[in-house]
């Protein structure tokens, strides 16, 4: 009895300490957001109660994990972190079968899995699960909340963290709140953005963009049965939440902590850019969005300290960075955010065989280091690729933004003469000329473009995986990209998917491809190369995400270069985006401060000939494995040079 009381006393004390730690990050944000609200004091009291209740019911093993991560806050920035992203049904059928795949994940070097939307979606088309009708239940096709908890536990025991989606911008129109709102319940109508007539929607529309112009044009939907216009940024069945209502904040915190207590390590906060609306703007990334996200982060730190927030904001470079906390929010917002620009620039440089734009954008918009945060780096995900390249950035690189974006769409849908890509268009916007692209990594990289492209396709994929593994952040491998899965053209036969070309790159996992029986198969080559990259990454402490990433301006436009500024010696990472062999003068390498030429991927010294270092020879990781040596043409190779000098630690001017 006495022991239980003292355990509770200890738990209370920890809560008080964590509240004290995060209070300065929480209340000032809420004061700004909701301070004017007549019930503000009750709201604050209710929030405190919610936090305490969640903490009191947090399982002991998770409280222990909280403590462990409080003591080791760098855990997610270490080079042993590597993520894998999959739809449960496409990877393993259901949760019970995911258990069977843990060995596979571990073998690949995975320490983080993103189980794509797994909360109970609306029936029928649910935007791939992003139209959630119950945040407290698992999709019954996948299993139950008990199965989910058992899986998070099993994964944790094997050193794998679990990320799930929490959709913040909208619920399904079948969610209990939405149903009450549709029945006329005023309290719940205020959870959404509803209008009696179209006067205000029309005014908002003047400055809004359309996310799905093809199949869900406009941002509002009229419902004659209850006589209201409802804000529906995405699909008609996804109703935007009214974050100006403090009750919405309270409900979401409760849900967030409920999920945290089921063993979730990372919450992927979906579509966060859209959470705050302001007349006359695009209603994206408004300052209040960052206040809400900082406040949510503080709530997690108080009641589930080990949980991280990954913010999904697929926006332009300058707009993206604040999601990792800038200015007042520095170190207090997302622990992770998608590096959309790195992904876009990879595809842009691959098509143009020129890294000038990539180098300039990444140098201009992104700082060398981030406080308490890092990127989720990726080359492909379940969504389309939008050409988030601004006119200004294109112009600075001597390009026309409009023409370059059009070139990229044509290149990746395969219509540009000589293109190796076999993608398909997504959401063509006639008004803006915007055309986004769907397609798997392999199909976009040339795997379907005939035998002469096969070797190039392998190299392009491995270069992409090496890029995201070394840039700084958690590399996320999208299911199937480790075995070069190509497009699934059958999506057009599924009635719920046919209208949405993103399903072309959401194929079923091909388990036969993982048996590695055929050493020359593209799947085997890409799998072994990817596994090797992740294994090498784990061993190279200099790739820790806390160390700076400095983009280097080199003499060869086909080569993208950055330096990882580790205190033990800088690592220079080089990526050849062309089909040709490329060289770099040793003079330039020396100017970067190099004192030792050593390929960290293969762990071999690098040869210099005629004052040049070139991307052929034994400079790739593959030679260690004994496969691929017969291929003496090595474009798209990657190599790293370790530096032992501090000379590179001086600011590198943007030319």
Which residues belong to the active site?
A: 270, 312
Asked if 409 and 435 touch (Cβ cutoff 8 Å), the reply is yes
Binding status of residue 216 toward ligand GLC by CB under 6 A: no
- Rounded distance between C-alpha atoms, residue 381 and residue 385, angstroms: 9
Binding status of residue 500 toward ligand GLC by CB under 6 A: no
Q: Give the H or E element holding residue 598.
A: strand 598-599
Q: To the nearest whole angstrom, how small is the minimum distance from the Cβ of residue 101 to ligand GLC?
A: 23
Q: Which is nearer to ligand GLC, 128 or 628 (CB)?
A: 128
Binding status of residue 503 toward ligand GLC by CB under 6 A: no
Binding window for ligand GLC (CB under 6 A); candidates: 99-107, 122-130, 185-193, 290-298: 122-130
**For ligand GLC, which residue of 83, 121, 128, 334 counts as binding (CB under 6 A)?**
128
Structure tokens at 191: 């959870």
**Helix and strand tally (H, E) in the chain?**
22, 25
- Cβ burial 221-256 (10 Å sphere, 16+ → b, else e): beeeeeebbbbbbbbbbbbbbbbbbbbbbbbbbbbb
Q: Which is nearer to ligand GLC, 438 or 576 (CB)?
A: 438
Candidates 291, 313, 305, 290; CA nearest to 260 is 305
Size of the site for ligand GLC (CB under 6 A): 10
Q: To the nearest whole angstrom, how small is the minimum distance from the Cβ of residue 132 to ligand GLC?
A: 9
**For ligand GLC, which residue of 86, 130, 177, 249 counts as binding (CB under 6 A)?**
130
End-to-end Cα, the chain, rounded Å: 70
Q: To the nearest whole angstrom, how small is the minimum distance from the Cβ of residue 313 to ligand GLC?
A: 9
Q: Which is nearer to ligand GLC, 234 or 456 (CB)?
A: 234
- Rounded distance between C-alpha atoms, residue 112 and residue 118, angstroms: 16
Q: For 614, left (φ over 0), alpha (ψ -120 to 50), or beta?
A: beta
Q: Give the H or E element holding residue 429.
A: strand 424-429
Binding status of residue 270 toward ligand GLC by CB under 6 A: yes
Binding status of residue 271 toward ligand GLC by CB under 6 A: yes
- Rounded distance between C-alpha atoms, residue 82 and residue 2, angstroms: 44
DSSP state of 609: B
Q: To the nearest whole angstrom, how small is the minimum distance from the Cβ of residue 407 to ligand GLC?
A: 25
Nearest residue to ligand GLC, by Cβ distance, number only: 130
Handedness of CA 58, 61, 63, 66 (dihedral sign): negative
Q: Which is nearer to ligand GLC, 270 or 642 (CB)?
A: 270
Q: To the nearest whole angstrom, how small is the minimum distance from the Cβ of residue 274 to ligand GLC?
A: 9
Binding window for ligand GLC (CB under 6 A); candidates: 35-43, 123-131, 355-363, 513-521: 123-131
Binding status of residue 344 toward ligand GLC by CB under 6 A: no
Candidates 566, 570, 565, 578; CA nearest to 614 is 578
Q: To the nearest whole angstrom, how small is the minimum distance from the Cβ of residue 508 to ligand GLC?
A: 18
- Rounded distance between C-alpha atoms, residue 350 and residue 459, angstroms: 11
How many Cα atoms sit within 13 Å of 350 on the Cβ side? 28
Q: To the nearest whole angstrom, how small is the minimum distance from the Cβ of residue 236 to ligand GLC?
A: 12
Q: For 149, left (φ over 0), alpha (ψ -120 to 50), or beta?
A: alpha
Binding status of residue 383 toward ligand GLC by CB under 6 A: yes
Q: Packing angle between helix 522-539 and helix 451-470, nearest 10 degrees? A: 20
Neighbours of 522 (CB within 10 A): 19
Q: Which is nearer to ligand GLC, 311 or 393 (CB)?
A: 311
Query: How, if at all, do strands 170-172 and 638-642 pair?
Result: unpaired
Binding status of residue 319 toward ligand GLC by CB under 6 A: no
Q: To the nearest whole angstrom, how small is the minimum distance from the Cβ of residue 232 to ligand GLC?
A: 11
Asked if 537 and 543 touch (Cβ cutoff 8 Å), the reply is yes
Binding status of residue 303 toward ligand GLC by CB under 6 A: no
Site string for ligand GLC, 82-121 (x = CB under 6 A): ----------------------------------------
Binding window for ligand GLC (CB under 6 A); candidates: 47-55, 127-135, 175-183, 601-609: 127-135
Q: To the nearest whole angstrom, how small is the minimum distance from the Cβ of residue 271 to ligand GLC?
A: 4
Binding window for ligand GLC (CB under 6 A); candidates: 126-134, 146-154, 575-583, 605-613: 126-134
Binding status of residue 593 toward ligand GLC by CB under 6 A: no
**For ligand GLC, which residue of 62, 167, 168, 303 counts as binding (CB under 6 A)?**
167
Binding status of residue 234 toward ligand GLC by CB under 6 A: yes
**For ligand GLC, which residue of 25, 66, 125, 127 counts as binding (CB under 6 A)?**
127
Sites of contact with ligand GLC (CB under 6 A):
127-128, 130, 167, 234, 270-271, 312, 382-383
């Amino acid at each position: 009895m006495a022991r239980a009381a003292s355990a509770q006393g200890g738990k209370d004390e920890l809560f008080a300490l964590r509240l004290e730690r995060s209070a300065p990050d929480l209340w000032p944000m809420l004061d700004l957001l909701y301070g004017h609200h007549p019930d503000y004091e009750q709201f604050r009291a209710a929030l405190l109660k919610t936090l305490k209740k969640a903490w009191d019911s947090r399982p002991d093993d998770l409280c222990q994990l909280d403590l462990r991560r409080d003591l080791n806050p760098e855990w997610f920035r270490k080079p042993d972190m590597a993520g894998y992203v999959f739809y449960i049904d496409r990877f393993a059928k259901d949760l019970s079968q995911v258990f069977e795949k843990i060995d596979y994940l571990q073998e690949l070097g995975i320490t983080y899995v993103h189980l794509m939307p797994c909360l109970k979606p609306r029936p029928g088309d649910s935007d791939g699960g992003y139209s959630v009708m119950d945040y407290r239940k698992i999709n019954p096709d996948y299993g139950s909340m008990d199965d989910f908890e058992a899986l998070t536990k099993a994964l944790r025991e094997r050193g794998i963290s679990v990320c799930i989606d929490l959709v913040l911008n909208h619920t399904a129109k079948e969610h209990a709140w939405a149903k009450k709102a549709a029945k006329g319940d005023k309290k719940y109508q205020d959870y959404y953005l509803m209008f009696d007539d179209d006067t205000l929607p029309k005014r908002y529309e003047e400055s809004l963009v359309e996310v799905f112009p093809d199949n869900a044009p406009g941002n509002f939907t009229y419902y004659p049965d209850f006589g209201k216009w409802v804000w529906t940024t995405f699909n008609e069945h996804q109703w935007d939440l009214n974050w100006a209502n403090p009750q919405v904040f309270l409900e979401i915190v409760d849900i967030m902590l409920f999920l945290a207590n089921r063993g979730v390590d990372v919450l992927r906060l979906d579509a966060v850019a859209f959470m705050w609306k302001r007349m006359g703007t695009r209603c994206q990334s408004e300052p209040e969005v960052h206040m809400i996200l900082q406040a949510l982060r503080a709530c997690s730190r108080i009641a589930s300290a080990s949980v991280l927030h990954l913010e999904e904001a697929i926006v332009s470079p300058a707009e993206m960075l604040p999601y990792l906390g800038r200015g007042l929010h520095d170190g207090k917002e997302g622990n992770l955010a998608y590096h959309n620009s790195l992904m876009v620039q990879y595809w842009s440089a691959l098509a143009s065989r020129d890294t000038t734009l990539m180098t300039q954008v990444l140098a201009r918009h992104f700082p060398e280091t981030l406080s308490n945060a890092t990127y989720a780096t990726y080359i492909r995900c379940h969504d389309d690729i939008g050409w988030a390249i601004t006119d200004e950035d294109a112009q600075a690189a001597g390009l026309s933004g409009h023409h370059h974006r059009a070139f990229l769409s044509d290149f990746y849908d395969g219509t540009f003469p000589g293109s190796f890509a076999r993608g398909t268009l997504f959401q063509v916007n006639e008004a803006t000329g915007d055309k986004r692209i769907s397609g798997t990594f392999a199909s976009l990289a040339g795997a379907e473009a005939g035998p002469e492209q096969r070797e190039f396709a392998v190299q392009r994929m491995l270069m992409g995986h090496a890029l995201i593994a070394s840039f700084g952040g958690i590399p996320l491998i999208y299911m199937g990209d480790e075995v070069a899965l190509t497009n699934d053209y059958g999506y057009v036969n599924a009635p719920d998917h046919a209208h949405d070309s993103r399903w072309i790159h959401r194929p079923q996992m091909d388990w036969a491809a993982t048996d590695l029986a055929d050493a020359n198969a593209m799947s085997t080559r890409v799998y072994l190369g990817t596994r090797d990259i992740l294994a090498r990454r784990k061993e190279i402490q200099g790739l820790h995400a806390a160390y700076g990433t400095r983009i280097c301006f080199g003499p060869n436009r086909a080569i993208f270069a950055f330096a990882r500024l580790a205190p033990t010696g800088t690592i220079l990472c080089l990526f050849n985006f062309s089909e040709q062999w490329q060289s770099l003068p040793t003079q330039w390498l020396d100017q970067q401060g190099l004192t030792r030429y050593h390929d960290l991927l293969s762990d071999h010294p690098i040869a210099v000939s005629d004052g040049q270092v070139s991307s052929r020879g034994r400079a790739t990781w593959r030679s260690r494995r004994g496969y691929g040596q017969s291929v003496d043409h090595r474009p798209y190779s990657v190599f790293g040079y370790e530096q032992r000098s501090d000379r590179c630690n001086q600011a590198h001017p943007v030319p």
